[in-house]
Amino acid sequence: MIECRAQKEAKITCLMPLPQYLRLMDTMARMSLRADAARYYFGYLWWLLEPLLYVAVFYVVFDLILDSRRADFLVFLMCGKLAFIWFSKSVNQASNSMVANKGLIGRINVTKTLFPMAVIQEGLYRQVAVFALLLVFLLTSGYSASWTWICLVPVILVNYLMIVACSFVGACLVCLMRDFSMIITLAMTFLLFTSGVFWDVRDLGDPQKSELVMAVNPLAFMLDAYRQILMHASAPDWLHLGLIAIGSVVLMALMVWYIRRYSQFLALKVLS
Amino acid sequence: MSADHEAVMLALDDVSLSYHSGREQFDHGSHHVLDRVSLEVYEGETLGIIGRNGVGKSTLLRLMSGILAPTSGKVYQRSGKSCALLTLGLGFRPDLSGRNNARLAAMLQGASEEEAQSHLEDIKAFSELGDSFEEPVKTYSSGMRARLGFTTALKTHVDILLIDEVLSVGDAQFRQKAAQAMRKRIKSDQTVVFVSHMEAQIRRICSRAIYLDAGRIVAEGEPREVMRVYRHSMGDAMPPKNRGR
């Protein structure tokens, strides 16, 4: 015993090399997409059908019934709603991912961030198809491609960072108390109404109020940024975008530290 | 204890584990799973842990593999040695084929994508699943799932194997084949911690045994002697055929 301990016992770690982590995350995401597609008659078509049906419902309610008084309402709605669905669905599912993988967490000592990341990656793959459809729709609706569309790349990247940061927070909260799963779903509904999905954050009458909404709610700024780029060929406010990126990265780093530091505690919470 | 063994691979020093369940229950919602357990696992040995269901055997393996941390006490693992907990049905997704599930399970156990890929044909052959290997796992019988689970687990190569009841499922013919494969692995100087509630398995496979009850070690030593204590504490209430299983 003394001989063994003299060799300095290794702290039992669950870290894996980054390339293996990324491959595993990608494999889990692709297999999940395949399993989902196999479950439904329309298979992979649901990647596009689901967001389009959401858009259709909102279009009927807010344009055909409530008369939005915007000639470009459908495009306006698609730019906001398709990006919002990406955020809300990814954060919702990723928040429940550790608890949903209780069986695995009880059997293997694996990095816990893997579970939300696999869900986020799955959402990213779907969203690539959704964004492609959106661009095709814009081009067929009379909008012409512009160099400003390149600004979509940093906006999508920051949106992705926001999703990762919020998902890590959500996943930990749900581990600690299952009730947070309900609260997160409710929070997504709150964000749906307050982020300018079906109303224009710039049409509030008072520019200061618009600024305030976008400053307080980063998602409102992001949805507006998508519209400015795609509909008005206008670049987003880089400083604002940069601040959201920094905030997301800091939150993400803190959560990665927390999840690694308290990996076994989180496992116990998931299993108990 | 075990002076002929060379070195300790894994040690638990005065380890306790308790947790609070979400709601207030007995003892203010606090559950004591393990209570001041100390043990050592030596290089090349096969240590058997026996005890009734719910006495903390699986939790002990989770502590050894680092999945859980003790509430008090320490878990030591020899530096540079890998350790894996083998259980059945690791991460099986019912909508995925046996092949894809086996690939994912191998990767989750630490294999690279190439390594996982290279094992697939062996897994298909050993598990005797035939064409069903390409079918979704949701179409499998429980025996087929057990075969896939065991074979996938068998392919993991680590220094310390922690085995949780993997030889207790499946049909009789496959159980025999699985036990044989496991014995072959054990004979090749593999360090193994083997959990079971079946005396015969512990006696046949293990070089040392521990009897765990209510989160504490009741007996430790030569398997036959430990089994005697186990039977005695069970009040010899079990029918003879169960003892021999």
Q: What is the pLDDT of residue B114?
A: 86
Dist CA A236 CA A155 (whole Å): 8
Span B89-118, pLDDT tens digits: 556 778 888 998 888 888 887 788 888 888
Q: What is the pLDDT of residue B28?
A: 59
Confidence band of B4 (pLDDT split at 50, 70, 90): very low
Dist CA A250 CA A244 (whole Å): 10
pLDDT surpassing 90 at residue B243: no
pLDDT surpassing 80 at residue A11: no
> pTM above the 0.95 mark?
no
Give the rounded percent of residues in chain B with a pLDDT score beyond 90: 27
pLDDT surpassing 50 at residue A93: yes
Residues of A in contact with B150 (CB under 8 A): none
Helix (H, G, I), strand (E, B) or coil at A161: helix
Q: Does A271 touch chain B (CB under 8 A)?
A: yes
Q: Does B62 touch chain A (CB under 8 A)?
A: yes
Q: Does B69 touch chain A (CB under 8 A)?
A: yes
Q: How far A271 CA lies from chain B's nearest CA (Å)?
A: 10
pLDDT surpassing 50 at residue B245: no
Q: What is the mean pLDDT of residues B144-162?
A: 80
Query: Judged by CB atoms within 8 Å, which residues 175-204 of A form the interface with B?
Result: 177-178
Q: What is the pLDDT of residue B2?
A: 45
* Interface confidence (ipTM) of the complex: 0.80
Dist CA B86 CA B218 (whole Å): 25
pLDDT surpassing 90 at residue A174: yes
Chain A interface, best mutation among B108, B109, B158, B161, by max A CB count within 10 A: B108
Q: What is the pLDDT of residue B196?
A: 82
Span A149-165, pLDDT tens digits: 999 999 999 999 999 99
